[in-house]
Amino acid sequence: MSGETAPPLARSTLDRAAHRRGDAQWLTEAWLRGRILLLDSTDGGRTLARTDASPPTLVLFGAADVPAGAESTAMFLGVEPDGVPVFALDAPLPAVPGTRPVNLREVGHLLGDREAGIFTTALALLNWHTRHGYSTATGAPTVMDEAGWSRVDRDGGRIWPRTDPAMIVLVHDGVDGPEGRCLLGNNAGWPGTPGGRRYSCLAGYVEPGESAEAAVLREVREEVGISVERIGYVGSQAWPFPGSLMLGFLATADPADPVRVDPSEIAYARWFTRAEIGAACAGRAVDVGDGARLILPPPSSIALFLVHRWLDGWVDADR
């Protein structure tokens, strides 16, 4: 059992203090006393952590530890409960004894609430800035503004960070106990894993003019050819790879309905019993054919959170 009450990247203790983003005088003072997370955009947004600690701890620096003038490209993340401001900065990672570079996928689920919120917010902002150096309306170059929460071109045209909504659903048969089943798929675009095959929840982007629930119906029908009922919202989390908000659902379907995969999206799909999923979570091999064992979604994903919710008996989202 997971014991998690929220998706792993949906935790934070930061006050985002949005009213401070345009206050240049306050930001200048805050920089001098703030904590700074360094992220290296050339290395996938890695940061430094002490991973021998439990939970791992992120390394935050002071203004005296970074080059002079770095505050002009720093992103203001918010204020901690102790009143100290937190910033993020795109910069090469220095060598710090007892630390190593880590990415959010690797350690997000291991971090405490405070540091999960800092890392997730910083990476989401960094990825947005990396991809929006030019105005989408005019093609003109843009520069960071509002302490990292917008970009502006030379004519004053402004753009703000965008998050793409995506649904993800754990489809199950509504049956309690070890013989209850859930439907998982292997995405056609995922790289192969020697000796294993990853299966995860079905997911897709919410299209323009569409509700999240309608996207659940459409994506499941498109990907595996079945209809779902009793769609229930469970929770959400940011997935800044590069900039999505994953909206998590549970829904029911009839295992007697034939599964017809769209091969352009799904390579394999099949029903698994709760006993099989429990065995995989416990580290035991579950055969999925062709000599491959079942690999579940990564622990920082909302997909595994949904799997655990179902595994632990939450067959209804409001239960």
Q: What are the pLDDT digits (tens) for 276-313?
A: 999 999 999 999 999 999 999 999 999 999 999 999 97
Amino acid found at 261: V
pLDDT at site 293: 97
pLDDT > 70? residue 150: yes
d(CA 313, CA 319): 9
d(CA 220, CA 212): 12
Question: Rounded CA gap, 2 and 307, in Å?
Answer: 9
Residue 315 pLDDT greater than 80, yes or no: no
**Across all residues in the chain, what is the average pLDDT?**
95
CA distance 217 to 21: 40
Indicate the angle between helix axes 274-281 and 302-311, nearest 10 degrees: 120
Structure tokens belonging to residue 247: 């909206």
8 A C-beta contact, residue 45 and residue 103 = yes
pLDDT of residue 317: 42
Check if the beta carbon of residue 166 is closer than 8 Å to that of residue 205.
yes
Alpha carbon distance 230, 89 (integer Å): 44
Q: What is the pLDDT of residues 191-226, one digit of tens each?
A: 988 999 999 999 999 999 999 999 999 999 999 999
pLDDT for position 5? 83
